[in-house]
Amino acid sequence: MAILKRSAARTAADPAGTLLSLAVLLGAGASPTRAWRHLAEGGDPSAVRITGRVDDGETLVEAIAGERDSDAAWGDVAAAWEIAESVGAPLAETLRSVADSLRDAAELRDDVRVALAEPTSSARVMLWLPLLGLVVAAGLGLDPFGVLFTTPLGGICLGLGIVLILLARTWTRRLVRRAQPAPGTPGMHEELLAAALSGGISVGRARAVLAACDEWSVSARRDSGQADRVLALSRAAGVPAVELLRASAAHARHLARTDGRLRGSRLGTRLLIPMGVCTLPAFLLLGVAPMLLSVVSATPIPAFAG
């Protein structure tokens, strides 16, 4: 039930779905403000908050950017909205393109989350292995806790075991964090530049408009140099840059999805390193060693007659 509630909440706040509805309303002739109010009256939670900010005196772009706390993708929406208004680009078409990009990015994050779920869960379970050893030893009638806390050798095992567990946790978290996709929407820089150029302005002017929007969007200021290569190809081939930029953005999202799946598959292998170097030795120190010490301490030493 909790999973269904989280899924429903994410669907309700999905920026891509909101943008597609907006595009339809704008295409039907509604003004931007009126389109947002229609969505708010329909129960869209983001639209309710955005229209509330507009009523409080914020501009529409500022109100949209205010949703970044709930989802960073709204920063991309704010940048696209400001670009379209600045250059006179078709707003409905711009919103549809951005919605497609955000939907692909959301699917990318879901793919990465699924790919990372199994190795991450396995690593977390293995971190409990030393404690399991202590429980098994206690179940066998031994006294591993007494050995760990009252004998010198037990104290050494306890200290080293705790250090190894903490090291394994830190190492595992770092590996999982590195496997996460970079923040922002892949290809959004090219998508926003295409939106600016669709208003019929020059490349220099489009870049200036895009640079003015970097306060809203992390993706707007992330230029990998691919846009320059696409624009050079456009000039050399004599073809419109807008479609080339959007094709490049779609290809960037495809590459990011493939890379995310590869990161998930590699993570499963890399997590074996802290498991072998830290977790298993900690199990031996906290689970097996106290068991052996308990057996040794409980075994009477035979007396030999002289």
Alpha-carbon gap, residue 79 to 62, rounded angstroms? 10
The reported pLDDT for the residue numbered 220 is 65
pLDDT tens by residue, the chain, 306 residues? 333 333 334 444 578 889 999 999 998 888 999 999 999 998 899 999 999 999 999 999 899 988 888 888 898 899 899 898 888 888 888 898 888 888 887 887 777 777 777 777 777 777 777 777 777 777 776 677 777 787 888 888 889 988 988 898 898 888 888 887 777 778 888 888 888 898 888 888 888 888 887 777 766 666 667 888 888 888 888 888 888 998 888 888 888 888 877 887 788 788 888 888 888 888 888 877 877 777 666 555 454 444
pLDDT the model gives residue 150: 79
In the chain, where are the structural domains located?
15-71, 96-296
What pLDDT, on the 0 to 100 scale, is given for residue 219? Answer: 67
Model pLDDT, residue 169? 87
DSSP string, 103-170: HHHHHHHHHHHHHHHHHHHHHHHHTTHHHHHHHHHHHTT--HHHHHHHSHHHHHHHHHHHHHHHHHHH
Q: Is the pTM of this model over 0.85?
A: no
pLDDT of residue 3: 35
